[in-house]
Structure 1
Amino acid sequence: MAVKTYSGKEFRKIVQKHIDRIDFVKVNLEDDSSILGFIVKASDYFLMIEETYDFSLAGIKIVPFERVSGIRHGLSDKVSKMIYSKEGLIKFNKQIIKNTLLTDFEAIFKSIRKQDYHCIVESRKKKQELFSIGEILEVNEKSVVINNYNPNGKIDKKPRKINFKNIETISFNDNYSIVFRKYIFK
């Protein structure tokens, strides 16, 4: 497993190798959670992962580079890639990858909004985990405002402002947000 004991430059080389080889990987995060999938893009600050679930591509997940504690590419991951490949399941949306900017949070959210996707933002505020889903209403250099909706499909009375410093992951182009947005009401 590639861990962050490497220098930042060495670690980024490993990340780029996984992108170039279209490797199936397990991205371990600092809170002992992980993301399974294919790293499709990276910057100095973020990883963009095509997340997988039960041998299907499950959407894009963006994680701040500082949250990554390591990347595994072991035998089971190689077997998973072989299965995805033989089943013809490795079909990335190149337009989304190209059109999603990873320079900073502001650029990420503006590029997601421009592509007309709702997003899911997992964040933490004072040790409380927050899950926000909805349309991106506003973006500035420090925060994003989401028109959040609850599990009943009802839009909150007040949009949710999320400070970038509290964000743990951003997801979009996933089945949950794509399907759910069709059934929301005020």
Structure 2
Amino acid sequence: MHDLVTHQDQRSLISLRRDEIDDHTIQGFVIGASDELVLLQYVYDFHLDGLMVLAVADITEVRCTATDRFQQTLLDADGLVAQVPFGLRINLEDWSSAIADLAHRYPLLILECERLEAPDFVIGRVKEMAHGEVRLECFSGAANWDDELVSLKYEDITSCQAGTNYTNVYQRYFERNAA
């Protein structure tokens, strides 16, 4: 946690690992952190790709390498660091608070439960938040809304993403094709 706050204060591009969940490194800027959750401006292939909330307990390594520092200079030269919402405040007390805050600001969220035997990836609109779970109206890759809500237990969630390129494209489609 201390490393995350230091990197937030220094506005450093970092790489983090979640060895028990994912073989890939996640790169981003720390926007906020609590004892439970961290909010990142996710960076993928030199593109800002929305916000990502992860559980601090799942993080096995946080680094700011020479590569991260060099790539931050490239992002800065392209004007992308200036677009990082360092002043954004999201309630990171727990998953319920973070998801509620993000759902209030972003119409579509991606929630993942990567530790399950059959990992879950859902994309949609938050419809209900009850004790211990969130219920979403989800849609398929072909932009067809499901008839039933999908329920996810907060304890199973490992990632929440908002304002990503993926969700933004679908959101623009839904806005163009509103009934």
2:140 counterpart (131, 147, 150): 150
Per-residue displacement from partner, 1:41-92 (whole Å, max 9, x unpaired)? 1011001110112222110000011110011211111101111112211112
2:84 counterpart (89, 92, 113): 92
1:163 and 1:50, CA in 2 relative to 1: closer, same or farther beyond 3 A? same
1:48 and 1:140, CA in 2 relative to 1: closer, same or farther beyond 3 A? same
Aligned to 2:154: 164
What is the deviation of 1:94? 5.0
1:16 alignment partner AA: V
Q: Which runs of 5+ in 2 are unaligned?
A: none
1:74 aligns with 2:65: yes
1:123 alignment partner AA: C
Count of aligned positions: 173
1:77 and 1:34, CA in 2 relative to 1: closer, same or farther beyond 3 A? same
Aligned to 1:41: 32
What is the deviation of 1:115? 1.5
Find the aligned partners of 1:85 and 1:52 in 2 and give their Cα distance: 13
1:123 aligns with 2:113: yes
What is the deviation of 1:175? 1.4
What is the deviation of 1:126? 4.3
Find the aligned partners of 1:86 and 1:125 in 2 and give their Cα distance: 38
2:150 alignment partner AA: R
Q: Which runs of at least 4 in structure 1 moved beyond 4 Å after TM superposition?
A: none
TM-score (norm. length: structure 2): 0.89
Q: Please report the RMSD computed on the Cα atoms of aligned residues, expressed in angstroms.
A: 1.8
CA contact (8 A) 2:106 2:162 kept: no
SS where residue 128 of structure 1 aligns? Answer: coil
What is the deviation of 1:117? 2.6
What is the deviation of 1:125? 6.8
Per-residue displacement from partner, 1:133-161 (whole Å, max 9, x unpaired)? 01100112311111110101001111100
Find the aligned partners of 2:3 and 2:115 in 1 and give their Cα distance: 32
Aligned to 1:4: none
TM-score (norm. length: structure 1): 0.86
Find the aligned partners of 2:10 and 2:111 in 1 and give their Cα distance: 29
1:174 counterpart (164, 173, 178): 164
Find the aligned partners of 2:113 and 2:2 in 1 and give their Cα distance: 28
Find the aligned partners of 1:110 and 1:148 in 2 and give their Cα distance: 16
1:14 aligns with 2:6: no
Q: Which runs of 5+ in 1 are unaligned?
A: 1-11
1:27 counterpart (16, 27, 35): 16
